[in-house]
Every structure is written in C-alpha cells, then in structure tokens.
Amino acid sequence: MTPKTIQLFNNEYYVIYQHGNLTTIWELQAHLSIADSATYNQLKHDIKQNGVHNPILYYTLGDGIKLVLDGHSRLKACIELKISNFPTKEIKEDFETLSDIQFWMVKNQCQRRNLTPVEKLKFACLHEETIVKKAKENLSKAGRGDNVKDKIDTILEISKLAGIGRTTTARYRSVINSGFYGIIRQMMNGNLSITTAYNQVQEKLKVGVNEINIISEIYDMLECESKQKHTDKFKTQEPKYVNDIHNGLHLLRDDEVEYFIMTKDKNKLSQKLNGKYAVFIMEQ
C-alpha cells in the first residue's frame, strides 16, 4: 500500500506516485512541471512501443525509499502502462535541504544537450528566487559589517546554471519582464530567438517612449497657453472711462471688460486693478 507521506529532512511530504520503491512527491514533481497532455500522450505511446530509454533518476532516503529526482512523466506512464522493467539510476549527493534537491534538478535539466537556450533559461529561472534570497542575505551581512567574499550577480548565476551567456540571459529576462505577452509567447514556443524577441521589445519600448514624449510636449504646450491666458486675463491694464452707466453696462455684457466700477472721486482709485475694467465717474 502506498504511504500517504514520507519523511524528508525532518518534514513530511505527501506521496503522489509510487512504483516499487520509486516514490514521487509534489514538491519535486511540480518544480519541473510535468509535460502537457499532448506531449505526455506522445511520450506514453513511445514508451509503449519502444520502452524507456533514459533511466529514471532517484535519491535513496534513510528508510530505503527511492525518491524520484528526474523522470516523473516516464514513471507515471510506466504505472499507467503497467510496465515494471525500466532503467533506473541512483544519484549520490549530499543533499541537506529540499532546496538543494530542487537546485540539482534544475542543473540536471539545464545540462541536457537537446534543450534549447529558452528551455534551459526557463528551468534556470525556477531557481532565481533562491539566488535572490542568497544575494539579499549577503547584502544584509555586508550591511552589518561582515566580510562577504562572494558578491552575487543574479543574472550571472542564472546564466551559469543554464550554461548560457550572461548577455543572452539578461535579454531573456528583459523579454519575460516586458509584459509584451505576444512576443513572450512566440519566444517560449520557439518561433522567435531570444535576440529577435529582445529587439522587438526594444522597438516597442522606443515607440512607447516617443508617444509619451509627444503627449508630454502637447501637455506642456497646452499648459503654457493656459498660463498665458491666465496671465493676460489678470494683467494690469489702463481702465476704460465711460460717460454714463449704460455704456459701462454695455461693455460688461459684451465681455469687453470683466467688471464695471462707479465712483465719485477718481482719486479714490488708489491703485490700478488687474484685468480689464471700466470706470464711470459720477458727478458730485
């Protein structure tokens, strides 16, 4: 009977599949996502016709359980096809944490020669969070005055893991982070190389910057016009003197002046007012 959980590094993990002593757990199977249904069905058909070519890799736990590190899809197909005779290979490493195993899995995938640069970087970026975490820990140590010998360059570490140049790695991450999902999808599907996808993203970004600059220029121009109108509106001007009240009201109705002042003493207008206005001096 398949156990519901296994003990690994003092933690319990749920078992997904078990075939003999070969056991899978979700944390490892999901780390390198299982093939899509079409690819899996093709793999299953090939195994049915020709058997398993590549051995399933496992790590032996203290209680003898063989924890699968590579070959989750192949094992699933063998279980469904009721195949019990297939090649396996033990991996002897000094793993101390689940993260160590996951890192090894990513590195093992990236070393496969039949993977494209995009596929290798996709796997390598799965370990980016661990790399970033280590980089932050180093910065924290440096901030406390500790001597940190190895400064971590996240992009460089990803490129080393994938076996891909740093420039190509940086371009891949730039495309992934761009938000241009059409370009990202074409790159991931192999229809665009990393460099071509990167160049297309840069062109789109240039267009975006130009549009922003044009909008900014239009905004500045409109703002200047608005400020000028505001200045002209409130600029100090000489008043228009009218001979009677009706003339002043006429100017006010026709928007030729902004306000109409009636006074008995011209000298009482101690200072000039802002904007356009008319004045009627009433006879005493």
pTM of this structure: 0.57
DSSP states of 208-270: HHHHHHHHHHHHHHHHHHHHHHHHHHT-B-PPEEESSHHHHHHHHHTTS-SEEEEES-GGG--
> Which is more confidently placed, 207 or 235?
207
The pLDDT value recorded for residue 269 is: 65
| 27 within 8 A of 14, measured Cβ to Cβ | no
Mind listing the pLDDT tens digit for each residue in 32-42?
765 677 888 89
Q: Give 59's pLDDT tier (boundaries 50, 70, 90).
A: very high
Displacement of CA 99 from its chain's centroid (Å): 23
pLDDT of residue 127: 78
Determine contact, residues 95/59, Cβ cutoff 8 Å.
yes
227-239 pLDDT, tens per residue?
666 555 545 567 7
The Cα–Cα gap between 71 and 58 comes to 9
